[in-house]
Structure formats: structure tokens, C-alpha cells
Structure 1
Amino acid sequence: MKKRVLGLLLIIFTALLLTGCTLSLRAVEPYQSPTPYEQLRIDMIATVEPSVVVVKTETGHGSGIIFKSEPVQGTSLTRYYIMTNFHVVEDGGEMTIHFGKDKVDIPVKDYAGYKLYDIAVVRIETDRQLRVHPVAPINNNTITEIIKGQDVYAIGTPQEIDKFNYVTQGIVSLTTYAYNGVAGLAIMHDAELNPGNSGGPLFNLNGDLIGINVAKVASVSSKDGTIAAEGLNYSLSINKIAPTIRSFNESSYTAVVRRPRLGITVQEVSVFLEQNEASLLPPNPVGVVVIGFDLTRNAHEVLEEFDLIIEMNGTAITSIADIAAQLEGAEFGDPHVLKVMRKVNGSFVEVTVTIELS
């Protein structure tokens, strides 16, 4: 049987050689758009997207856009300005700017805002080179034309961080509309928005920033009762908010107070096992599971995802409250010794690490 199969393969290979065919793999050819319109959209999104970020807070996240930069005097750092919504940063506590997968978050240094317009600017300082999207109404005190029916594109991160820079498309439905009781503050459009899109940019097909996404109408009343609304989305008009953004000066900014932390996100075992395979933890697990990291702090250097914290500073850990108790009165630089159960080559081993609060 083996001889027959080998003989058949030899015949096929010989036929390929005689016909000039090869068995080499061909490289995938670059996508060629069938229409100039689609290519324009693809190119526009590729150009503007690097300036769109996530604004992460202690209470959730929103979206934002980098619109200005300047050198930090006396250092090699650059200061970047990021527009978002006021309701994203209000009572947000510590904040970081997230740039997508495999990139370290950068802590927010300070922020300014105007609640009535629901607009805010957060600032970061870094030696990384980030993409800045120029905004003519802010930089040049000009007006960007907004026309009913023109295509618009909302970019932001709805729901969860894994939907980083999600894009939705629509048209301008109304060029001017009242929002927060302010006439003409908003544009209405049907590019779908969801929680997490707040503070993200709204672009036209030229890549001009025409609005900052702020809210959607979730439901409307009708003769049949309350029904889900569709395509009723608000963005703050860049022409309306630009003077306010320009008015922010150094005295407008409030410093974000950074508190000492371990830099981990944890989950109770019972909650973790509702959403994950039991094989990720040892049998009969007791402790708290590490499910994420703040990469601006130190824990990610010594802990791993799905580590089961079983002891901290000699005290058994059975709940998140136990960890919180160990951190009462914490100060920067305080060392904390953690024992974890970690899966290594299919088996669970006990690992001891020391983390200094940062």
C-alpha cells in the first residue's frame, strides 16, 4: 500500500515539473480596493487612528484623541494633550492613557475641563513619540464645515478594552442641536456609539475632526410604549468647543494624585471560575486570582496572569478584602511579600515574590 501511495505522489510531482508548475507558496497580494471611495476611507482611518486612545480611570474608561504636543522645558520629555469628555475624567481618580495591545500605558499628569460642555483635556508626559492629530478650529481659530448628509466615522473603544479603536460609520443627521441645554453644542449622526466611546473623535471622510462623541439616545417614547432608539447619537461640535479648549491655561489644570498600589487587577475565585476553566487554578483553590496588570507599576515584572495569591506578608489571603487590609496606610516603596500558586509546565508550584509599592 505504501509503495502505491509513494508511486502516485511521484507521478503527481513529475506532472507538475513537466507543466512548469511549482509547489512553492505564493505571497498574499495586497488588498486592492474595488472603488476609490473605499480606498479613501481605508487610507483616512489608517492616518487618523494612531492619534486615538483610551482614557482609563478607576471607575471605567472612555476614549480620546491626541491633538497637541509641546516639549517639557529642561527635560527630554514631550507633553501631549488629549481631548475627551468631562464625565470620563470627573471623579475618575488615577488615570492612564492606553494605546492598544503590547504598548505600556502612560499615567495622566493632570486635567482641565468644562462640565457644561462636557469637554476635558488630559495631559501626559513621555519620551515616546506619539501621533498628534491637528485640529484647525483649535490651532488656527477657523471653522470646519459640517454638512447634513456627509459621511462621518466614530473611532473609540466601546464596552471593553479588547475592542480598542472600534470604527462605526454614519452620516450627519443634524448639523446643530442642543445638548446639556446649550444651543448648537452638538451634532447628531447615526454612527453608532456605545459606553466607552465617550470622548472619542468623530471624523469626516477627509480625516477632519468635526466632533467629540458624547452620548446616544437609548430609548424613545411612542404610542406603543418605550422602544429602543436607533441612530440618535450626539457628538460635541468642534466649532463650538474649540474656543473653550483654547481658553484652558496652566491654572486650569488639576493634578492627578497618584497613590501607591500593587498594580494588579484581581478576582475572587468563585467569580473567576464562573467565566474560566477550572484547570487554570489548582484543585480546591483558596485565594485571589490575578487577572490583569497596571503596566505603569511593578507587579507585572514578578507576577503572571492567573497566579493565585494565597498569602501576603505572612497572612492567608482568601478574599480581595484581605489584600485591601494589608495595604492600609500604604506608602510608596513599601515592600510586600506574596505567595502564589502558579502553573508551570502543567503543574502548580508555590512561588514567593516581593513587590515594592509604586
Structure 2
Amino acid sequence: MRKKILGIIITLLLVITLVSCVEVSKIESYVSPSDYEDRIIEVSKGIENSTVALSYENDIVASAVVIDIENSVGTKEVTAITTAELVNEFGNDLKVLSNRTNRTSNITAMAINLDYDIAVIKFETNSYLTKVGKNDLANHSIGQTIITIGTTADVDRYNSLKVGMINNANLPYKELGNIAFMHDASNNPGEKGAGIFDLDGNLIGLNGINHIMTETSDDVEFVLGMTLAIEAKTFAGVLNNLDEIDFINNDIPESLFNDSSIELKNYDSSFAYEKALINLNTTLSNTTVTVSKDFDLASGLIYTKLNNSNSYWVITKDFEDFSNLKIIYNGTNELEITDSIRLEDYYLSIHKVNSAIPLNTYTSDAINNQEGIELVNGQTLVTVGTPLSTDYYQNFNIATLSKTAYGQEQIFMHDGNLNFGQAGAPIFNLAGELVGFNIDKVNSITTLTGQILAEGLGNALNINYVANAINNKTFNNNLDEEVLTSINSYESTIEYEQLIINVVEKNNRNTVTVIADAGSGSGHGSGIIFKKEKIGNKYLYYVLTNEHVISGKEVMEITIQFNDERESILAKDFTNAKTYDLGIVRFESEEDFEVTKIAAIEKNEGLSPIKGQTVIALGTPDSSDRSGYVTTGNITIPTSIYGIILKLAVNHNAPINPGNSGGPLFNLAGELIGLNVSKMTAFNTYAGTIPAEGVGTTLNINVLSPIINSFKEADYQIVEKRARMGITVSDLSVFAGDKELLPSLPVDEDAIVVVEVAETSDAFGRIFANDIITHVNGEKVSLVSGLAALIKGKKHGETVELTILRLEGNNNVEHKFVIEFK
């Protein structure tokens, strides 16, 4: 009987597995179009078995790099290096995971040096591992690409891979001297002690201290992309002298550290993209300053030297007053401030300083020659500033230009790690041209479950709109008149950057915002138009999104919002597969729109996701006015389980936020990898709750495609359309500062102003912009919230009487109209 039950259970498990693993019929290997990306993938494969995880009571708390393997038949004795703090804290209670299963090994020996934060452990395993030897160590440079591999929080994310860049070097570490460098690869619980490698596959450091939060004068801010790593030359003597480690007394002799007699390899990049970043750091060296005022911290740029003098002009963020303001050069030299000017409408201020030593200056074509430069979605940006502390002066950060204009034309957005102290920092393109200045970032997002860390939502000022004001040291309230008349187009000369730009240009118009209105409120996600059918004189369009974006108990209508000048369109119908969190929305239009062709759907052919490959996310994070937002990252884990479906998840570290759900994730060749669905917001660890960074999930298109192709016409549900008056209104208080609008209104007190009337509305041609609505069915109203309450629940065909006040000549004239809901 027991055997029979066991057989049934095994059969059921096999059935579930077989159903879960249905994919496209043909999956080919991904072939990178870029030698730079290809090298990242190649190195990722070479180092993935050189790292193990350390666990404490089922929590992954650290990672370690294998540095020696004693070959023997079956079980092998392995030596690994990691950071010391957690080894010292947990000792023999730590277990070692050397593969993705939950099978662990005990630590058989350990040695620690707390001063240098280095520990060496020994354990036994029969898992396949590779080692990093004493000849596999290298020096590093600011701007170079790094790859780090470690286990993020739990065994499901065993040996997760992250790609980043070195931002700073020769930094202090704890109480020691300058033995650290900083990098921006996302770092989470479990990744301390993980190895950091260059693109030759050499070990250049170990993950050490990860900055998570910082206190500012106003609040507590999340910190992103700031990990201090212990450089390889600090512990090279340990790898070269393993026999001198005292495992009996658990001690690593101090003589094994900072051994100057050991020569490490020097890294010489052969990749145009990486070389451009390394060279750009050298070019921009010492052209920036740190700015402090009381408890505030900012960054700035030295942009002009006055002729025949020791005076310079510096630009930084705006301050309400300049008392106690300090401008510091090279981290230590305070400059004398002789003049200060606010450009507050541009969030900037400029300062004349004197210096006893010569200062490096940056010459901007936009400021000095009135020659602007085009911004392009998807292009690479770098910013130089001072995050958190003057210890980190001239931190060199990378970003992707996410949105060329947001809200106002002079504001653009990027996905870089913008932390406290980097407001006012200059931003450059890959050609070294100044394109703007950091303003601030979205620090957190409010969700139904509370505040979560926001990622990759940095605001910046476009140099093309402020160059004249900086040059003239004054500002014009009409910002449109300030924009430079000569703006040169940006043409990338770097293949890797151009490939990202191409993917964005090809697919951004086809990426949409999906807004689901439940009557009591609306929420939004993202989607991608992937199919169209010609039906009569119209086209029927199909949009891929997530099921959780469009489903709910009271969904009344679904709106497709484009990220360009096209008008929003109400959806016709939708269908979904809840188990896969997959939704399809259809809408009709007479316009012939482009769609994104997806081979996995059209040809039943897919590409296998690969650890380390570049990903490009498009969508609408946080707010529906951020449509067409671009972020980039890398695949961290190629496939994993999502819900109960095997291989449905692809993990990556491109910044995504609420609102990105349903948005597309592309590879560098422009092929769809999947639909973004979620991200980890925090990890519950032995040390408490820690915010998660760069742990996003996309739904594998190879698994979704058979489900998409299985939908029949009968599966689609008609979307109920809400009855509308077709009148857009606003409270008068919104226009309190509009000197042009107010004289054209008949009142100057609390009132409801008509902003726009839809052409399809029954009110079109009778009610006009700037009319004031005073009564609804004879009941007085003065706020939009009151108007909404009186018309709530109206159905198609029902009517309402509106009383409006209109300024006609010099007289206020009252009109009444009966408006039908459509």
C-alpha cells in the first residue's frame, strides 16, 4: 500500500513537472552582438564554480572564494577565503553550501584576522569546484568593469552574478589605511565575502562593507550601489603563503598582509566601452568639488578659470542661503568663496572661489560656446560627485539615460545610483560632454504594504536649458527662451552603447502603460504591443502584460496609454492565465501602429537566457507619467521557479519599481527575454530586515509563449467602459500662481475650473476651457472632490445638469447645460 501511495505521489510530481516545463519547441543559444558582453558571459561561466555560500540557521550570511583544493578521489578538502566578521561571530555554527542543494558541509578549520577583516576556512565536499590561485590576482582601475558572484540571502539564489564598475579607489577600510575600492554592483545579504573579478577572470577583491542607509538633515535615505571591497593586494600574501596560516590557534599572521614583494597582474582592457569609461575618469579627474553646509552635503563642477588670476567659478546645487557654506577641493583643500549667485529656478547656484593652488577646470561647449548636445534614451552617462562623506570624494558613477524629458523639458531622468551628497554633481556622456547636473532622486515608494526602496529614479537638469543662465550668471523666468538654439546630435562611437540605444529606439513606442480603473481607484502597470490584426477599417492590437495588473474584483475599464503624442485608448477586452501571472489586453484603432515581433510567439523559437548577459527594461515605474522609462542591468540567475512553475523566472538586476509590472525585458540583440513581474523589496535576516537591491524577476517568454498561443477568442472578456461626462476639471487652487490664466476666469475663490472637453463628449461645443462649474443638479460645488461625489455611479445614457459661470467680455454670465454620460 505504501509503495502504491508513493508511486501516486511520484506520478503527480512528474505530471506537475511536465506541465510546468512546457516551453517553445526550439531553444537556441544566445549569440551576443557585442565582444564586451560576450567577455562578461565568458568570464561568468569561468568563475561560477569558484564561490561557495556560508549559512547560519538556514540564512545565507556570506560567500567565500575557493583558493585551494586538495585533489583526492571522492571527497576533497577545500580552502576558501572570505571576510572575517561573520566567521568570527558564528564560528563552527556556520555551514558551507557548495552547490544549489541544501546539502551542507561543516567547517573543519578556520583562521581569522579581524584587523584586516579576512578569514580562511577549510571544509570537505564532493561538489565540483574550481579555485582561484595565487597567480590569479590583479590590480584594478576606476572605471573598469567588475563581476561579482555570491549567494543572495537564500539557496534559491545560489551564486547570483552581478556586473558593475569600480567607482573609487585607495579608500579607508574600518580603522586601516587605504586598502579598499568601491564598486556599484548590487550587493545584498549573503554576498559579503564574495569575490570580485575583472574581465580577464582575475580576482581583484572581496566584498566588504555595504552601505545601506544614511541620515540626512531632513530624513533617512536609502543608499544604493556603494560597496567597499578589500583589494586583492591586501590579502595576496595569504594566498601565497597558505602554509603559514595558524589553523590551530585560528590566526592569520599580520605579516601576510600588504606584502609589497608580491606583484599582481595589471589589467589592460581591450574593450572600447570599458576603455572609454576608464579614460573618462582620468579626463575628469579633479574637476569636481565637495560642497558642505552645516549637515548638508553636495557636489559641484569647476567650469571656468578667470584670466590672469587664481579665481575660478564653481557650479553646484541651490542653497537657500550661503552661510557656513564650504567648497572643498581634492577632499581636503577648502577654497575661499568670494561671490555667490542663486539660480534657484534651475536648482543651481554658482560661486566664485580663490585657490592658492592651481585647479583643474572642465570646459563645457554648452556653457562656454553655447553648443548644446542631444540627449538620447538608452545612452550611457557618468556622474562624478561625493556621496555620503568626503572620504568618497570624486566617486565615479555610471548610469543609463532613462527618460530625456520628465514633467518639464529641462528635467531628464537616469537609473544611476544617486545618493546623499551627489546633488549638484555634473553628468557627462560617454564622449565626455557635459549634459547636466544631478538634482535629487525618488528615495522610496509608498505601496499597499508600506514604504519600499525606490531604485534607478534619478532627476537631473538638462545643460541645454541652463547653459545660458550659467554663462550669464542670471536667469530668465521663461525657461523656453533659455534653451540653446544650437544643439548637436549625439552619435555614439561605442558599439555596446549603440546596441542599447537601438533596442530602445526600436521598442519604446511599442511599450505602453496599462491602467486598470476599479472605480474606487486606479493602478497601472506596463505592457508591450506584440500583435495586430486588420479587421475591416480598424486594427485589433494585442498587448502583453501581467495578470495582476489588469485583474481585480471591480475592474471597470482598462486604458492603454502611449509614451508619445498618441491619445490613450480604452481596451476592448482581455484574457489572463493567473498561474503564470500573464495577461493580454486588446484594443482597436484605425491607426496602423508598429508592434514588437516576438519569435518565441510567432515561430515557437526562443533563446536561452545566460548569466551575465545585458538586459534592457522598458516600462512605467512608480508614476504613469514616467512611461517609456529605460533601465539596464544583467541576468543574475538564468532560470528559476516562479510560483509553482519551473523555469518561469529569470532574475536580473536592472532597476525596476512598482509600475514596471508587465513591461518588457530585452536582450542586447533586441529580442524579448520576458515580462517584468516583481522584485524583492527586503530580506528578513538574522540581523533584521535589510532592503533588497537589484533583485528583479521577469517571466520567461520561452515558457509564456505556449500559453499565449493557446488562448482562443472565447477566452477574452469584454471590458466594461465607465460612463463619462468627458470633461477634465481641476481645483482653482492648482492655478494659483498662473498670472496669465487667472484674469480670464470669472472668480478668484475656491472653484472648479474646466481644463479640457473631449470631442466625443456631449459637452463638446457647449462647455469650454476656463468655464467655472458652480452647481450640479442645483447643488453648489466648489471642489473637484465634491463634484466627483455627486456624479459617482452615473450610467451610460443618464444625464446631469451643470451650472457654469463664464467670463464674456467684462461680464460673468451664468449658463445651464444638461450633459449626457457616454
- Do they fold alike, i.e. is TM over 0.5? yes
Contact kept, 8 Å, 1:331 with 1:357, in 2: the verdict is yes
Contact kept, 8 Å, 1:77 with 1:125, in 2: the verdict is yes
Q: Which has the higher contact order (CA 8 A, sep 6+)?
A: 1
Q: What corresponds to 2:780 in structure 1?
A: 316
Q: How much has 1:261 moved relative to structure 2?
A: 1.6
For 1:40-80, what per-residue CA distance to the aligned partner results, in whole angstroms no more than 9, with x for missing partners?
211221011121111112121111001111122xx211111
Taking the aligned partners of 2:486 and 2:637, their CA distance within structure 1 comes to 46
For 1:66-116, what per-residue CA distance to the aligned partner results, in whole angstroms no more than 9, with x for missing partners?
1111122xx211111100000011023201111134321111011010111
Contact kept, 8 Å, 2:509 with 2:564, in 1: the verdict is no
Q: Any idea what SS the aligned residue of 2:773 has?
A: strand
Query: Quick check: 1:185 aligned with 2:644?
Result: no
Per mean C-alpha deviation after superposition, the further-off stretch among 123-132 and 177-186 is 177-186
1:265-304 matches, within 5 Å, as: 269=731, 273=733, 277=736, 282-285=747-750, 287-288=751-752
Counterpart of 1:85 (choices 536, 542, 546) is 546
Pick closer, same or farther for the CA change 1:322–1:185 going to 2, 3 Å: same
Taking the aligned partners of 2:551 and 2:793, their CA distance within structure 1 comes to 25
For 1:295-318, what per-residue CA distance to the aligned partner results, in whole angstroms no more than 9, with x for missing partners?
875667766777653212332124
Structure 2 counterpart of 1:67, which letter?
A: F
Counterpart of 1:35 (choices 477, 494, 508) is 494
Taking the aligned partners of 1:344 and 1:163, their CA distance within structure 2 comes to 39
**CA RMSD, 1 decimal:** 3.1
Taking the aligned partners of 2:617 and 2:810, their CA distance within structure 1 comes to 44
Q: How much has 1:328 moved relative to structure 2?
A: 4.7
Contact kept, 8 Å, 1:149 with 1:172, in 2: the verdict is yes
Pick closer, same or farther for the CA change 1:102–1:311 going to 2, 3 Å: farther
Q: Which runs of 5+ in 2 are unaligned?
A: 1-483
TM-score by length of 1: 0.80
Query: Quick check: 1:325 aligned with 2:325?
Result: no
Taking the aligned partners of 2:677 and 2:595, their CA distance within structure 1 comes to 21
Taking the aligned partners of 2:540 and 2:507, their CA distance within structure 1 comes to 19
Q: Any idea what SS the aligned residue of 1:206 has?
A: coil
Percent identity between the aligned chains? 37
Query: Quick check: 1:222 aligned with 2:685?
Result: yes
Query: Quick check: 1:158 aligned with 2:617?
Result: no
Q: What corresponds to 2:561 in structure 1?
A: 98
Q: Any idea what SS the aligned residue of 1:339 has?
A: strand
Q: Any idea what SS the aligned residue of 2:488 has?
A: coil
Q: How much has 1:145 moved relative to structure 2?
A: 2.3
Structure 2 counterpart of 1:89, which letter?
A: I
Q: What corresponds to 1:46 in structure 2?
A: 505
Per mean C-alpha deviation after superposition, the further-off stretch among 341-350 and 179-188 is 341-350
Number of residue equivalences: 326
Contact kept, 8 Å, 1:312 with 1:323, in 2: the verdict is no
Taking the aligned partners of 1:197 and 1:347, their CA distance within structure 2 comes to 50
Q: Any idea what SS the aligned residue of 1:131 has?
A: coil
Rg larger in 1 or in 2? Answer: 2
TM-score by length of 2: 0.37
Q: What corresponds to 2:718 in structure 1?
A: 255
Q: Any idea what SS the aligned residue of 1:116 has?
A: helix
Pick closer, same or farther for the CA change 1:100–1:152 going to 2, 3 Å: same
Structure 2 counterpart of 1:88, which letter?
A: V
Structure 1 counterpart of 2:685, which letter?
A: S
Taking the aligned partners of 2:508 and 2:487, their CA distance within structure 1 comes to 24
Per mean C-alpha deviation after superposition, the further-off stretch among 217-226 and 190-199 is 217-226
Structure 2 counterpart of 1:81, which letter?
A: Y
Taking the aligned partners of 1:229 and 1:162, their CA distance within structure 2 comes to 25
Pick closer, same or farther for the CA change 1:203–1:224 going to 2, 3 Å: same
Q: What corresponds to 1:336 in structure 2?
A: 800
Q: Any idea what SS the aligned residue of 1:102 has?
A: coil
